[in-house]
Structure 1
């Protein structure tokens, strides 16, 4: 919670003004028991009626002013907490955006959503209500205790006998409830993750008739959540009743011991009435102590979880001597590149060089390191040894924004936002005109099916593009990359869901378009790679064959074997690429 206070200090005025209002309201409250004493001893018992109306008007004035101060306090504190909530969510989201691919490889969406949502809301409640009320009650307690000692120190000491025990119980409660809430919060993450995955993958669940299994899995998580909630309730039930008993017992002591003092004339009736009013200012904080401790413990646990993510230092960031490059040429070179992921050596001694505007095709067995290789170009991961160069600069020295803003990537796992087709394409170029969107879709051979939709380019594709086929999603993703007009274009198995005819037509369009872009194509079909300037064939993290289509065929190696498998019914001379998309 200490680090959360840094956010509070950003808005000093929003802290000072309501704090002053709070202190003034408490000060006014301190007059009420005194006025009760005066009206009891001097008006009702003493018979001095001249004081009645002034005291009544004083009550009214205090009530009115306190209402205004209370409004200022509540409203401004709520504004403060809302601003802090916005800042924390923004900073947390910004930080998450700065983290590398490797962070998300080991993190589930449900946990991140819990941190941004539930945990930030807990901090918000603590600031708007919990901490403010805790401080307010402490001021009430200290001020009222001081006044009580001036009224009658003996009665005060007797009335406060149970307070140390209450304080001890509150500390024990805070310790145990904090641990319990941490467990409950972690279990909530598991439930959120299970629900999110099942809702997102509901078609897969139904396709495999796994509804009962997933229901039981969620039921088990829900039961564990129930048990943890009951554990938390048992802790509350264990500590709240003793605290309530001790606070109520203080009233009993006040009535008994205070009544004896009145009988002995050591205390006036008015003083006992005032004492009763001030003692309630002690009892209320004691009653609230357990609740506030619970609230602050929850907030503290949430703040720690948030800061645990905020403390993660991005492993991939701009170097201190980073180079700004406003316009890349697109020369790419791998020099003795090794890449290790989770202690597994994925790439081993990769060496090749490609000039601007050329096309590199990458083929290979599953798990041979094809995607890992192209991920090093945009520095989504860093090499373990060796270096990747673009235009002669080590990518680790190039400003990340300059590097990635001049690249266009179509990833293996096609992702579309739950927006219109036009907005998804414009994600590649925010200020693109409608004509540019149409042209990009035409080049991606997507304009034909888009025109068939009722809403055409305004068609909402659904979550992750669920309303489209795999091939349609890939073509929209390719359009999104093409509209960027980047110097480096990476297609990671981007045509796997297309039929061969559409693939040929799309690749023909790309061959005409990509002359000014260095293009990397990962594919499994010979038809997608045969026209590349360089073909790399990979196995077990190594480049085992390198050359053009004709050169690799002459080597009669692994590439040649795949060629025979895919075109056993056609000779190379007989095979032709259809016309491009119109």
Structure 2
């Protein structure tokens, strides 16, 4: 239960509801147990044929006259009334405790999700999306089963024994012992079978997950599958995965088929014991006729709660494992924190001083001793080959990562002193890997700002050279994009990402290779529009294409994470170095096209 101790704060938060639920359980069990006593009294009353000597003590409450029909009718009405009250409080019990577990599930999901938002990018690089979703959905659902059904059934069983067993001992101690004897065996049997069911179910879930993943990849890559005429191969793979899933499902079906016969056999054993032992006690005069059906009712009342104990134990075990997985992530803390929570309106001066970066999740050195300075309102272009460290600079500027060595300053203030939310809110970042939401074009453009008008959305689309494409759609700005923006072409996705960044009027604009999917003509149009946007705004243009960076005030060339060349377009061309070679080669390729 160590991992589940984390949930104690929720038990305390909703303690009133749990205590109320416990009260309903007590009332429900009292009203459910008393009818067995009334049945005993009524049968004794009938069998002793109006023998008033048998109606001693509390029985006079029900049998105050000699009218046989009236007395039996009153007993029947009492049983019906108590059953209704028991059912009513059972409803309140479930509504209170199960409902409270749903409230805690809601709180826990929100807590995990909010915690996810605080974790650094390195966390998401180490953990796959499926695992993140599983912990906030499947694992939380397992925990809820502990908070609701498991807690309710445990309390239910404790109260049931506390109410019923004393009455049974008072009626006949020997018969009570024989009734209780098979119950531990029943609980243990259910526990063992339930554990086996859980293992088989987990194996099936694993196979189902593999089958779903295979199907998703097949459908996502259907274009490649058809192009290479591999439909038969893909179908064969699906059939093999389905065969494994079928075998696991049949194994579970066999275990489930064994489940109820075991329960019924043990219940039958208790019934036989009551008949045999109770019959002997009745013959010897130590038991009344009414005690036999009374104990049958007790068996009925006790068997299923005890049987559920094995299932409940399995729920607790699953919840323990799931909460452990949840705690693992909740204990993960971000190392991207603000040292002083400094907040101000940025001017946009950026300075890197001997900055190095080693990615914590891979140990790869991305940057080594990089230094440059960009004055407020100026533009810097960063160019280099794949893996040279260009995108790492963008990651550092918006503090998705922190540098391993060196200093980064914005407006002469160390970047680690800024309030992270304030810093990022004044930066417009267009990542290399474009991500669009399954929402309207308007909402995707306006995503970067809380307060943005229609005119700003339209202007951002025009500046990104996307407006003409948008108005050609039937729904225009209300067009809903598919998953990850599948409705748009690669170039349109990049331009929409640019529009999203510039719509918030950032002080610092970071364009991370955001024109790689557009043609030269569109690139020139966007760059000409960016001239106006870049005015009085610090702009960092990251690209592997020299044509995208020639308009910048200064250019640095990265190679293997280090600054190989630095200057403007003219000075770098005179160096006859990496930049000129790259620029000339790209011009030749474009001229051939």
With the length of structure 1 as denominator, give the TM-score of the two structures. 0.90
What secondary structure, in the 3-state scheme, does the structure 2 residue paired with 1:269 have? coil
Alignment of 1:41-56 (within 5 A): 41-47=44-50, 48=66, 49=68, 51-56=71-76
Q: Kindly state the Cα deviation for residue 370 of structure 1 after the two structures are TM-superposed.
A: 0.9
Residue 15 of structure 1 is matched in structure 2 by: 18
- Report if aligned partners of 1:182, 1:301 keep a CA contact under 8 Å in 2: no
Residue 259 of structure 1 is matched in structure 2 by: 279
- Do residues 373 (structure 1) and 393 (structure 2) align? yes
- Do residues 40 (structure 1) and 43 (structure 2) align? yes
Q: Kindly state the Cα deviation for residue 548 of structure 1 after the two structures are TM-superposed.
A: 0.8
1:557 to 555, 563, 577: 577
Deviates most, 540-549 or 167-176 = 167-176
Residue 580 of structure 1 is matched in structure 2 by: none
- Report if aligned partners of 2:438, 2:484 keep a CA contact under 8 Å in 1: yes
- Report if aligned partners of 1:425, 1:437 keep a CA contact under 8 Å in 2: yes
Q: CA, structure 1 residues 569+431, in 2 after alignment: closer, same or farther (shift >3 Å)?
A: closer
Residue 485 of structure 1 is matched in structure 2 by: 505
2:425 to 388, 405, 420: 405
1:143 to 123, 147, 163: 163
Q: Distance in 1 between matches of 2:392 and 2:263?
A: 60
Q: Kindly state the Cα deviation for residue 15 of structure 1 after the two structures are TM-superposed.
A: 1.9
2:125 to 79, 92, 105: 105
What secondary structure, in the 3-state scheme, does the structure 1 residue paired with 2:303 have? helix
Residue 351 of structure 2 is matched in structure 1 by: 333
- Report if aligned partners of 2:473, 2:479 keep a CA contact under 8 Å in 1: yes
What secondary structure, in the 3-state scheme, does the structure 2 residue paired with 1:9 have? helix
Q: Distance in 2 between matches of 1:222 and 1:307?
A: 34
Q: Kindly state the Cα deviation for residue 412 of structure 1 after the two structures are TM-superposed.
A: 0.9
Q: Kindly state the Cα deviation for residue 226 of structure 1 after the two structures are TM-superposed.
A: 4.8
Alignment of 1:365-514 (within 5 A): 365-514=385-534
- Do residues 162 (structure 1) and 165 (structure 2) align? no
- Report if aligned partners of 2:187, 2:308 keep a CA contact under 8 Å in 1: no
Residue 26 of structure 1 is matched in structure 2 by: 29
Q: Distance in 1 between matches of 2:244 and 2:500?
A: 44
- Report if aligned partners of 2:507, 2:538 keep a CA contact under 8 Å in 1: yes
Q: 1:429-470 deviations in whole A, cap 9, x for unaligned? A: 232111110001011111111111111111112111111111
- Report if aligned partners of 2:153, 2:309 keep a CA contact under 8 Å in 1: no
Q: CA, structure 1 residues 230+138, in 2 after alignment: closer, same or farther (shift >3 Å)?
A: farther
Q: Kindly state the Cα deviation for residue 510 of structure 1 after the two structures are TM-superposed.
A: 1.1
- Report if aligned partners of 1:145, 1:282 keep a CA contact under 8 Å in 2: no
Q: CA, structure 1 residues 430+337, in 2 after alignment: closer, same or farther (shift >3 Å)?
A: same
What secondary structure, in the 3-state scheme, does the structure 2 residue paired with 1:516 have? coil
Q: Distance in 1 between matches of 2:271 and 2:447?
A: 67
Deviates most, 186-195 or 151-160 = 186-195
Q: Distance in 2 between matches of 1:569 and 1:95?
A: 48
Question: How many pairs does the alignment contain?
Answer: 569
Deviates most, 158-167 or 543-552 = 158-167
Q: Kindly state the Cα deviation for residue 391 of structure 1 after the two structures are TM-superposed.
A: 1.9
Alignment of 1:136-285 (within 5 A): 136-173=156-193, 185=205, 189-226=209-246, 229=249, 241-285=261-305
Q: 1:134-191 deviations in whole A, cap 9, x for unaligned? A: 3313322343223222221112222222233334445545665565555555555545
Q: Distance in 2 between matches of 1:387 and 1:210?
A: 53
1:310 to 330, 345, 349: 330
Q: 1:277-315 deviations in whole A, cap 9, x for unaligned? A: 222222122333333344444444333333332232223
Mind listing any 5+ residue stretches in structure 2 that lack a counterpart?
51-65
Residue 131 of structure 1 is matched in structure 2 by: 151
Mind listing any 5+ residue stretches in structure 1 that lack a counterpart?
572-582
Q: Kindly state the Cα deviation for residue 17 of structure 1 after the two structures are TM-superposed.
A: 2.3
Q: Distance in 2 between matches of 1:568 and 1:146?
A: 96
Residue 2 of structure 1 is matched in structure 2 by: 5
Deviates most, 297-306 or 455-464 = 297-306
Q: 1:363-392 deviations in whole A, cap 9, x for unaligned? A: 111111111121011110121222222222
Q: Kindly state the Cα deviation for residue 12 of structure 1 after the two structures are TM-superposed.
A: 2.6
2:138 to 118, 128, 133: 118
- Do residues 85 (structure 1) and 85 (structure 2) align? no
